[in-house]
């Protein structure tokens, strides 16, 4: 019996490896993209922190410059309350009595009490 021989030119190559294409981009592109996004985030963070610092500085200087006006307003209110208190005292007592037995000005403290007390 004759032996089977390979065909002339040999057999076709046998494909034993899987030829599956890689999904997505190369890893270096993902790395570059990640660094670009992080760089943009740090850029925004840097300028955001700088902006917050400038706003805080502006707020502080605004308060420093408005402080004399607020102090003058407080002084006017204290003077108005003082003279109203003196007038009320004179009306009730009939004379200008020194409370603290001193000529020195003592800043009064006011306590607000409710007009109607419920039990």
Smallest CA-to-CA distance from 86 within 104, 69, 66, 108 is with 108
Q: Which residues of the chain have pLDDT under 70?
A: 1, 108, 110-112, 114, 119
**Per-residue pLDDT at 1:** 64
**Per-residue pLDDT at 95:** 78
**Per-residue pLDDT at 43:** 97
Cα(50)–Cα(37) distance, rounded to whole angstroms?
Answer: 20
**Per-residue pLDDT at 96:** 73
Domain spans of the chain, in order of start: 31-90
Cα(80)–Cα(105) distance, rounded to whole angstroms?
Answer: 15
Q: Name the maximum alpha-carbon separation found in the chain.
A: 150
């Amino acid at each position: 019996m004759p032996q089977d021989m390979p065909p002339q030119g040999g057999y076709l190559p046998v494909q034993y490896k899987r030829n599956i294409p890689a999904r997505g981009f190369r890893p270096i592109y993902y790395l570059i993209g990640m660094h670009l996004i992080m760089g943009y985030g740090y850029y925004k963070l840097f300028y955001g922190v700088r902006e917050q610092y400038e706003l805080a500085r502006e707020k502080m200087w605004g308060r420093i410059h408005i402080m004399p006006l607020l102090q003058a307003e407080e002084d006017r209110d204290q003077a108005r309350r003082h003279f109203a208190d003196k007038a009320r005292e004179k009306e009730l007592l009939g004379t200008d009595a020194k409370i603290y037995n001193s000529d020195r000005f003592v800043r009064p403290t006011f306590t607000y009490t409710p007009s109607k007390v419920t039990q």
